[in-house]
Amino acid sequence: MPDKNELTPAELELELHLAGLQPAQHGIKPEIVFFRAGQKSALRRLRRWQAASSLMVLATLGLWAWHPSPKHVSESPEMVFQDHRHRAPQPAVGVARALPSERWVRRSGTREYLRLRTEVLTRGLEVLPSPSLTPAPSKSVDAVSHWRRFVTLTPAAGPPAAHGPQT
């Protein structure tokens, strides 16, 4: 780095003379400087608060806009038969789903019953199959005889009960 000693004596003397000139008086007052500094400092603090509150408002608005409102299902509920006996245990879910009824009708007997029921409801009793001639199981016969005995012994059973003792 160049040094002051590298200047010639003439340059040094000129430098010395020029340094003898004092800068003119200025009109800056220190109290104004301090006042401005305090003003700026307070403004800076205010800006910090304003920025923080603006960020919070923006975050609130963003959350409000981003969060979707819950959807309402307008479908009419479908009645299905669910056979819970053969259904594998499943975790509980909050929303009920409409599933195809075929999935829940698994047993052939149940399916047959449902088919027959639908047929009867739509076309009448003519669709019922003719009764078979095979004898009823003994258990069923016992149940019928038990019922006849009950009807016979009941006194307030009406006209059939009146003929009971004669038989």
- Tell me the C-alpha distance between 167 and 163, whole Å: 7
37 backbone dihedrals φ, ψ, rounded to 5°: -65, -45
Question: CB 3 → other proteins: shortest distance, Å?
Answer: 8
Which amino acid, residue 121? L
At residue 94's C-alpha, the angle toward residues 93 and 95, to 5°, is: 100
43 binds other proteins (CB under 8 A): no
Among 115, 117, 75, 120, CA closest to 97: 75
Question: CB 2 → other proteins: shortest distance, Å?
Answer: 4
Stretch that binds other proteins, among 18-26, 89-97, 98-106, 135-143 (CB under 8 A): 18-26
**Buried (b) or exposed (e) across 109-137, using 16+ Cβ within 10 A?**
eeeeeeeeeeeeeeeeeeeeeeeeeeeee
Binding residues among 22-41 for other proteins as defined by CB under 8 A: 22-28, 30, 32-34, 36-38, 40-41
Task: Fill in the per-residue mask, 104 to 143: x = in contact with other proteins (CB under 8 A), - = not in contact.
Answer: ----------------------------------------
Instruction: Give contact residues for other proteins (rule: CB under 8 A).
Output: 1-2, 6-7, 9-11, 13-15, 17-28, 30, 32-34, 36-38, 40-41, 44
